[in-house]
């Protein structure tokens, strides 16, 4: 059944012009913050690639991450990525059910051994593996089995990446992240974390596009997240930042400051310690992001954010102080090069993880 048609041939056959194809490549390049000169390389890579198999495994999840995937915008980008992948197992959209669904997964794993991609949404319970099952098999076992021969595992969303809400205190089911499980099982398949609750749609599709183009995982921060989407904190990119600098803060959700778009720091905004592209890419084709709708960032792309002590509690002075020091280091790092950014990011992440802001 398999034909060796390339992505570009396939797109051409579907009526997508060469120009449309190059436009797609440009979109991929700009998503990954690559220079325009990289477009031919991307076109070359995609032009010769076969459509890789994607197996999407849902565990302790709410399907918000899959919903986010369907929201991927940027006209025609999503449909092109759909055409660039063979989505062989995805509970929410696949036609097959029951034994046929499971057979599709096993067949894809068998035929694409070592080459298929696994995406996971949801955490995995360890207190009792029976807490989360499909087809009578524990999700723990399904993850281990599916990840072993995958080219890479993409943890989509904060639950898969860091444990997320099931792992929030008191973590009733002993929920763990994909990375924790695979680490414990000694499985070395590369993991990419695309955090967020859910992740920004383009962070999901953009990361997949990056993998398809270069055949390897993108550059990651110390939490395993692609720098293209998680390299900057929301506060640094926020359009309300000038009001912070001037000390102009909304004091309530409906006061003059709120109406004028002043900084939401006093209303609990976690933008300064949250790394995500909400303030730049924004949500739903640039229609906005939470701060633009007057609500502080809740920190949903960071490990342990559910237990930070309250969405409306302003970051404390101590953490604020830490953040300012670190923020300065990031600024210097950005000028000096990516390595120092990564270094200061590592420090920042430790603050986020241990600092209880």
Handedness of CA 204, 210, 215, 219 (dihedral sign): negative
In angstroms, give the least distance from the CB of 225 to other proteins. Answer: 18
In angstroms, give the least distance from the CB of 162 to other proteins. Answer: 14
- Which member of 78, 221, 302, 319 binds other proteins (CB under 8 A)? 78
Considering only the C-alpha atoms of the chain, give the largest distance between any 2 of them, rounded to a whole number of Å.
Answer: 65
Nearer of residues 65 and 209 to other proteins, judged by Cβ: 65
285 binds other proteins (CB under 8 A): yes
Q: Say how far apart CA 20 and CA 306 lie, in whole Å.
A: 42
Tokens of 315: 């970051």
Q: Could you give the 3-state DSSP secondary structure of residue 342? A: helix
Handedness of CA 6, 55, 188, 207 (dihedral sign): positive
Reduced 3-state DSSP string for 233-247: EHHHHCCCHHHHHCC
Nearer of residues 218 and 265 to other proteins, judged by Cβ: 265
In angstroms, give the least distance from the CB of 35 to other proteins. Answer: 29
103 close to 231: Cβ distance less than 8 angstroms? no
Rg of the chain, C-alpha, whole Å: 21
135 binds other proteins (CB under 8 A): yes
Instruction: Give residues 293-352 in contact with other proteins (rule: CB under 8 A).
Output: 293-295, 298, 306, 310-312
Q: Say how far apart CA 107 and CA 324 lie, in whole Å.
A: 52
- Which member of 8, 38, 68, 176 binds other proteins (CB under 8 A)? 68
Instruction: Give residues 200-239 in contact with other proteins (rule: CB under 8 A).
Output: 239
94 binds other proteins (CB under 8 A): yes
Instruction: Give residues 48-67 in contact with other proteins (rule: CB under 8 A).
Output: 51, 53, 58-67
State how far the alpha carbon of 22 is from the alpha carbons of 26, 74, 91, 275, in Å.
6, 14, 32, 30
Applying CB under 8 A, which part among 22-30, 36-44, 184-192, 280-288 lies near other proteins? 280-288
Q: Say how far apart CA 20 and CA 11 lie, in whole Å.
A: 9
Instruction: Give residues 232-261 in contact with other proteins (rule: CB under 8 A).
Output: 239-240, 252-254, 258-261
283 binds other proteins (CB under 8 A): yes
Instruction: Give residues 159-188 in contact with other proteins (rule: CB under 8 A).
Output: 164-166, 168-173, 175
- Which member of 26, 47, 49, 91 binds other proteins (CB under 8 A)? 91
């Amino acid at each position: 059944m398999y034909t060796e048609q390339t992505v570009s041939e396939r797109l051409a056959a579907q009526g997508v012009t060469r120009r449309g194809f190059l436009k797609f490549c440009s979109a991929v390049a700009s998503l990954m913050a690559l220079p325009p000169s990289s477009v031919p390389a991307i076109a070359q890579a995609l032009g010769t690639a076969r459509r890789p198999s994607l197996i999407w495994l849902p565990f302790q999840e709410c399907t918000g991450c899959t919903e986010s995937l369907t929201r991927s915008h940027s006209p025609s980008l999503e449909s092109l990525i759909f055409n660039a992948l063979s989505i062989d197992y995805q509970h929410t959209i696949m036609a097959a059910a029951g034994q046929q669904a499971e057979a599709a997964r096993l067949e894809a794993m068998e035929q694409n051994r070592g080459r298929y991609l696994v995406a996971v949404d949801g955490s995995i319970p360890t207190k009792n593996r029976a807490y989360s099952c499909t087809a009578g098999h524990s999700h723990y076992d399904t993850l281990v089995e599916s990840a072993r021969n995958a080219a890479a595992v993409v943890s989509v969303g904060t639950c898969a990446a860091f444990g997320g809400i099931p792992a929030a205190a008191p973590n009733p089911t002993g929920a763990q992240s994909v990375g924790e499980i695979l680490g414990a099982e000694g499985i070395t398949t590369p993991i990419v974390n695309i955090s967020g609750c859910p992740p920004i749609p383009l962070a999901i599709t953009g990361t997949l596009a990056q993998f398809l183009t270069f055949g390897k995982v993108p550059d990651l921060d110390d939490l395993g997240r692609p720098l293209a989407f998680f390299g900057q904190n929301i506060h640094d990119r926020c359009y309300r930042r000038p009001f912070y600098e001037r000390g102009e803060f909304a004091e309530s959700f409906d006061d003059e400051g709120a109406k004028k778009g002043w900084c939401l720091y006093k209303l609990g905004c976690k933008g300064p310690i949250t790394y995500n592209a909400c303030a730049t890419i924004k949500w739903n084709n640039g229609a906005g992001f939470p701060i633009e709708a007057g609500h502080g960032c809740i920190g949903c792309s960071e490990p342990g954010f559910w237990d930070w002590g309250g969405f409306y509690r302003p970051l404390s002075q101590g953490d604020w102080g830490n953040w300012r020091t670190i923020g300065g280091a990031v600024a210097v790092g950005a000028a000096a090069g990516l390595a120092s950014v990564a270094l200061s990011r590592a420090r920042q992440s430790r603050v986020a993880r241990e600092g209880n802001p």
